[in-house]
């Protein structure tokens, strides 16, 4: 039982997590800087793009989706896809 | 002696379905995503209907507060995942320290939120206030959505703090150990989801000036 449990739980370096966190902080600074510039309609698009990258980073690394069984990857993919479809349908209907 | 033996016997055959529990918590997280997703749709629809008024209303927002709170939550997310990494390495002390840090960052976030809301309420801006109702429809909607969405998010942070406090007690009582930390892992999943929701709330409310 123990073996099976450890097998399914990849042990990741502390350093990797800290590296991901640094990336997240850098992206936060980037999005704040970009919002200060005036890119007009692109500002919202860029802000949401950066937010999506940050969310993917958190899900993949901190929520361990990257090292999870394929079923969890499929799960997350389906849910995100459904949300995007609902968003698109709201605007075209 | 006999009872000890039977205890050892049960202990070696204990059945834990880590995967099943994990699927359960993910289903709950998806329900949470749909809950917030609905609110994000309402926000997006009205933002496209009243773009100018949303910009005007957002001028009242304090970007510095929002940025600090984003950094606080991201750091809390890091300490959360580090507490799991520590228990995997049988380092109970570090794990306890990191869970306590995560609780601290959660509380810090709520204190910031409290100061921010107090400022706004001090200016007479809160749902249904006279000052707010004198503004245009778009501005009223912006602030109503702001209070509803950050309020619901704040409630989630508060619940997360309570859950993590339980995890801290479990760690102290040795109920979360290196070969059985599913509870800690699942609490972490919830905590990270709360951070992911904030990642989207932040640009939509604080970065549209």
- Comparing CB atoms, the residue among B14, B45, B81 nearest residue A90 is B45
A72 in reach of chain B (CB within 8 A): yes
More confident residue, B1 or B129: B129
Q: 């989801």: which residue's tokens?
A: B193
Summarize pLDDT for B175-189 with one digit per residue, the tens.
999 989 999 999 999
Quick one: pLDDT at residue A79?
Answer: 92
- Give the residue numbers spanning the domain of A46: 2-68
Q: Which long-range contacts (CB under 8 A, 24 or more apart) does B103-108 make?
A: B103/B161, B103/B164, B103/B165, B103/B168, B105/B72, B105/B73, B105/B75, B105/B76, B105/B79, B106/B76, B106/B157, B106/B158, B106/B160, B106/B161, B106/B164, B107/B161, B108/B72
Is residue B120 over pLDDT 80? yes
Residue B73 CB-density burial (10 A; 0-12 exposed, 13-18 middle, 19+ buried): buried
Contact status of A47 with chain B (Cβ, < 8 Å): yes
The pLDDT of residue B177 is: 92
Residue A23 belongs to some domain of the structure: yes
Question: Between chains, do B203 and A35 touch, taking CB under 8 Å as contact?
Answer: yes
CB-based contact, A17 to chain B, within 8 Å: yes
Pairwise CB contact (< 8 Å): B44 & A86: no
User: Is A63 within 8 Å of chain B by CB?
Assistant: yes
Return the residue matching tokens 């042990």. A11
Contact call for residues B19 and A64 (beta carbons, < 8 A): no
Q: What is the pLDDT of residue A7?
A: 47
| More confident position, B99 or B18 | B99
Instruction: Report yes or no on A74 lying in a domain.
Output: no
Q: Round the average pLDDT of chain A to a whole number and report it.
A: 87
The Cβ of residue B97 has, within 10 Å, a number of other Cβ atoms equal to 16
Cα–Cα distance for residue pair B142/B118, rounded to 1 Å: 18
Taking only the tens place, the pLDDT of each residue in B39-64 is 999 999 999 999 999 999 998 899 99
- In a domain, residue A52? The reply is yes
Q: Quick one: chain A helix, strand, coil %, rounded to 5?
A: 80, 0, 20
Whether A34 maps to a domain, the answer reads yes
Q: Which of A74-78, A89-93, B158-162 has the lowest mean pLDDT?
A: A89-93
The token pair at B170 is: 């479990």
In a domain, A42, yes or no: yes
pLDDT digits (tens, 9 = 90+) for B68-97: 999 999 999 999 999 999 999 999 999 999
Confidence of residue A55 (pLDDT cuts 50, 70, 90): very high
**Domain annotation covers residue A51:** yes
State the smallest CA–CA distance between residue A52 and chain B in angstroms.
8
| A60/B contact by beta carbon, under 8 A | no
- Structural domains in chain B plus CATH codes: 32-206 (1.20.120.80)
Domain membership flag for residue A84: no
Flag whether pLDDT at A1 surpasses 60: no
Residue A7 lies in a domain: yes
Given phi > 0 = left and psi -120 to 50 = alpha, else beta, which region is A31? Answer: alpha
Q: What is the DSSP string of A12-25?
A: --HHHHHHHHHHHH
Measured in angstroms, the CA of A68 and the nearest CA of chain B are apart by: 10
Higher pLDDT, A9 or B19: B19
Q: What total of structural domains would you count in chain A?
A: 1
Q: Which of A8, A11, A63 sits opposite B18 (nearest CB)?
A: A8
């Amino acid at each position: 039982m123990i073996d099976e449990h450890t097998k399914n739980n990849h042990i990741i370096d502390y350093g990797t997590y800290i590296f991901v966190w640094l990336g997240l902080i850098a992206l936060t600074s980037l999005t704040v800087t970009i919002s200060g510039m005036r890119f007009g309609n692109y500002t919202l698009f860029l802000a949401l793009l950066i937010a999506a990258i940050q969310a993917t980073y958190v899900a993949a690394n901190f929520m361990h989706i990257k090292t999870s069984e394929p079923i969890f990857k499929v799960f997350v993919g389906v849910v995100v896809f459904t949300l995007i479809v609902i968003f698109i349908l709201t605007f075209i209907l | 002696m006999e009872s000890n033996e039977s205890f050892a016997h049960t202990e070696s055959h204990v059945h834990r379905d880590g995967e099943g529990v994990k699927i359960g918590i993910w289903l709950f997280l998806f329900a949470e995503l749909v809950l917030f997703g609905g609110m994000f749709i309402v926000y997006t629809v009205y933002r496209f209907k009243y773009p100018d008024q949303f910009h005007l209303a957002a001028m009242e927002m304090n970007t510095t507060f929002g940025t600090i709170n984003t950094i606080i939550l991201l750091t809390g997310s890091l300490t959360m995942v580090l507490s799991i990494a520590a228990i995997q390495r049988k380092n109970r002390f570090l794990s306890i320290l990191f869970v306590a840090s995560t609780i601290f960052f959660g509380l810090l976030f709520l204190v910031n939120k409290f100061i921010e809301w107090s400022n706004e309420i001090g200016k007479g801006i809160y749902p249904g206030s006279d000052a707010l109702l004198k503004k245009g429809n778009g501005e009223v909607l912006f602030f109503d959505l702001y209070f509803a969405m950050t309020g619901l998010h704040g409630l989630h942070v508060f619940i997360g703090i309570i859950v993590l406090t339980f995890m801290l007690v479990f760690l102290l009582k040795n109920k979360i150990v290196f070969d059985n930390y599913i509870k800690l892992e699942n609490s972490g999943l919830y905590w990270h989801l709360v951070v992911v929701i904030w990642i989207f709330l932040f640009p939509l409310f604080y970065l549209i000036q």
